[in-house]
A and B are shown apart, each in its own frame.
Chain A
């Protein structure tokens, strides 16, 4: 970690939390990325699809504009097709079964002092830690 990374992490985190606060206080919605897009694609969020689509438009379109303004961003994503497909399926099924991901359970759940959110967050961080240990340090594939 570079020395200034934690400062940018904190600033970015405050922005993420402010985005969630805005969505909650203005629209009365919980800012959970998997729930917003999941409800749109499986039809369960038909009642407020416009709001979901508007949120996703901001989320998908603004970062590349911002990235183009100040620097090129290297996301360092793997190009291993099998890893990508497996990870996508696991993240898709997992977040919808658990009703939340890092934003929903992590940011919005923990801040509401929700034990479910805290428990989910501890479980997915632990699972991610085990997978990185296994695939990076034992198998050496990531």
Chain B
């Protein structure tokens, strides 16, 4: 039960942060990517602000080895730049630029984006369901 409460609290705080920071505004997000137009640097402040508490948390977590509720701290993945990381990030960035939505804000604004947001979410979830099959089909 404690795990569920802290998970819900964390999700709520994440969503609140996305709302307060302005990152649910898709035009602001596209503005960050629009280096050759009316560039909007807000996202850099959001990312910078988010990295500070997270940096401290990682230092604490790696010393403790175990989270407060008993789960081991996840091991750092092998630092290898494989093909899927690059291809996947290229695809993700392209979709992000097209409409200004990434998974966090798309979920946080699920009830604020109207039917347009629903179309995006359905497509995103369908692709997520299909990805294991795509991985197997890739040479």
Considering only residues 95-117 of chain B, those with a C-beta below 8 Å from chain A are: 95-104, 106-114, 116-117
Which residue from chain A places its CB closest to the CB of B35 in the assembled complex?
A129
Q: Smallest Cβ distance from B91 to chain A, in angstroms?
A: 3
Most buried by A among B26, B67, B101, B123: B123
Which residue from chain A places its CB closest to the CB of B51 in the assembled complex?
A111
Q: Are B9 and A58 in contact (CB under 8 A)?
A: yes
Q: Are A26 and B6 in contact (CB under 8 A)?
A: yes
Q: Count B interface residues, CB 8 Å.
A: 118
Q: CA separation between A90 and B135, bound complex, in Å? A: 14
List, in ascending order, chain B residues with CB within 8 A of A67's CB: 19, 112
Considering only residues 83-142 of chain A, those with a C-beta below 8 Å from chain B are: 83-99, 101-103, 105-108, 110-112, 114-116, 119-121, 123-133, 135-137, 142
B76 at the interface (CB under 8 A from A): yes
Is chain A's interface secondary structure helix, strand, loop, or mixed overall?
helix
Q: A41-B129, A93-B131, A94-B95 are in contact. Are A15 and B116 (CB under 8 A)?
A: no
List, in ascending order, chain A residues with CB within 8 A of B4's CB: 50-51, 54
Which residue from chain A places its CB closest to the CB of B123 in the assembled complex?
A88
Which residue from chain B places its CB closest to the CB of A102 in the assembled complex?
B102
> Which of B20, B53, B87, B123 has a CB less than 8 Å from the CB of A85?
B123
Considering only residues 50-100 of chain A, those with a C-beta below 8 Å from chain B are: 50-52, 54-64, 66-67, 73-79, 81, 83-99
> Which of B11, B61, B88, B121 has a CB less than 8 Å from the CB of A94?
B88
Q: CA separation between A123 and B88, bound complex, in Å? A: 9
List, in ascending order, chain B residues with CB within 8 A of A110's CB: 47, 51
Q: Are B10 and A58 in contact (CB under 8 A)?
A: yes
Extra contacts, 4 of them, besides A56-B11, A98-B86 (Cβ < 8 A), are: A11-B21, A33-B104, A54-B4, A129-B93
B residues apposed to A, CB below 8 Å: 2-28, 30-31, 33-37, 40-58, 60-61, 64, 66-74, 76-77, 79-81, 84-104, 106-114, 116-117, 119-132, 134-135
